[in-house]
A and B are shown apart, each in its own frame.
Chain A
């Protein structure tokens, strides 16, 4: 076990320490991986009640200015002015080859003001990319120092209301600023109904302690965050999508409006149109290992003849599914659910089936 301290610490680290968290390095941060309940109980608790995640490693950016919408519609395959007030949209930052630099959630707060939530590991890269593009626009980009928590699960709304933060008016992928310098959205990374709430660091501890006082709330670490999102079929950037994968093969073209894809002038537009015209060779799919043995990221996907036809990009065990689960890319002609494929783990051939994502049904509050 390594004792090397990673660079960055969560503002509420002492709260996690007193909760008995086991820490590990993730994206340059010292992050709670599990708490004494353990990944299995944490995972199931989130689907049954309310799981509390400290995701302050993620970065909020406020984008503001007369040309904020035009800027974001150039940086991302997006019609930012058409998102709608208080609405959030899943989108991506593309490079010139339409490779995915990061995936983001962008919320429109007014005609000239937007909130961007970026992944921890990509935040510095995203900021540099945004700043380079922003030079040609009348826009300001500000990285906001915030504590960001997620409360996920069927009891999340009621817990927040009892803690004095009534977000019941929000529906899935809508957001609000409930207090000065706070930002709350009905969204998450678990497939459950839930919320992500950003707040000033100075106000965070009192609020989080209020949430923890509710017996329905349990701290959830990164290990369960990963098993929850994998069951929900959601991509992890750096694993399931990266700068070498494009939105089409990743199966996230739904996030790009057709008109934007066809006519947009966003970075990577030409490359994406070319990929779309030609079609991609590979497709992201769910993969269900047929036994009890988990299949991990990096394992090859092979056909009955032993030919490599794809790769596993995320894999583990699904506590709610009750069996191993995985996600990866396979040749497009083998992407039909039910297709029998194989992998090799430590020299043993294991059977996989292409599976429909998500493994666990989404339970978003769509209003």
Chain B
């Protein structure tokens, strides 16, 4: 079981084979409130760490989600288009946002483990 890594912007990342699954943390979904729309990136898009790749929209406001590493988007969670509340209900699991193939795996070293993340919130 690979461990989950975190950013200070409340994204999580977990390696699955040669790609990483990325989502927002449970704390983040709680802060945002009920989500009603998730704008996902195009599969195949090359992205750079820190770039806005997803926009999550709650009843009240839109918030950006940043990509935690460089790479190529290889999959998105299509279930969110009909059920954005999956992010609220299972932020760390079925409510994942996208999968990314890392072009610079050493960037994983810059992320936090769960204990370090929890200390920031």
B33 contacts A316, CB within 8 Å?
no
The distance from the CB of A342 to the nearest CB of chain B, in whole angstroms, is 17
User: Chain A, 31-50, contact with B by CB distance < 8 Å: what is the 0/1 string?
Assistant: 00010001110010000000
Count chain A CB atoms within 10 A of each CB in B33, B59, B84 and give the residue with the most.
B59
The answer to whether B55 touches A324 (Cβ under 8 A) is no
Known: A223-B33, A346-B55. A39 touches B60 (CB 8 A): yes
Residues of chain A lying within 8 A (CB to CB) of residue B37: 292-294, 317, 324
A293 near B33 (CB under 8 angstroms)? Answer: no
- How far is B61's CA from A1's CA once the two chains are assembled, in angstroms? 14
Contacts A223-B59, A226-B60; is A294 near B36 (CB within 8 Å)? yes
* A294 touching B34 in the complex, CB below 8 Å, given contacts A346-B39, A346-B55: no
User: Which interface residue of A40, A43, A224, A319 has the most chain B CB atoms within 10 A?
Assistant: A40
Interface presence of A296 (CB below 8 A): yes
Which chain B residues numbered 4 to 47 have a C-beta less than 8 Å away from chain A? 31, 33-34, 36-37, 39
Chain B, range 41-89, C-beta contacts under 8 Å to A: 55, 57-62, 81, 84, 88
Nearest CB to that of B58 among chain A residues? Answer: A39
Total contacts A-B at CB 8 Å: 47
Q: Main SS of the interface on chain A?
A: mixed
Judge whether A249 is part of the interface by a CB distance below 8 angstroms: no
CA distance A29 to B105 in the complex (A): 46
A293 to B55, CA, bound (A): 10
A-B residue pairs, 6 tightest by C-beta = A317-B36, A40-B34, A39-B59, A317-B59, A223-B60, A293-B37
- Could you write out 30 A-B pairs with CB less than 8 Å apart? A1-B31, A34-B33, A38-B33, A38-B34, A38-B88, A39-B33, A39-B34, A39-B58, A39-B59, A40-B33, A223-B33, A223-B59, A223-B60, A226-B60, A227-B59, A227-B60, A292-B36, A292-B37, A292-B84, A293-B39, A293-B57, A294-B36, A296-B61, A316-B60, A317-B37, A317-B57, A317-B58, A319-B59, A324-B37, A346-B55
Q: A39-B34, A227-B60, A317-B37 are in contact. List 15 more A-B contacts (CB 8 A).
A: A34-B33, A38-B34, A39-B58, A39-B59, A39-B60, A223-B59, A224-B59, A293-B57, A294-B62, A296-B62, A316-B59, A317-B59, A319-B59, A324-B37, A346-B39
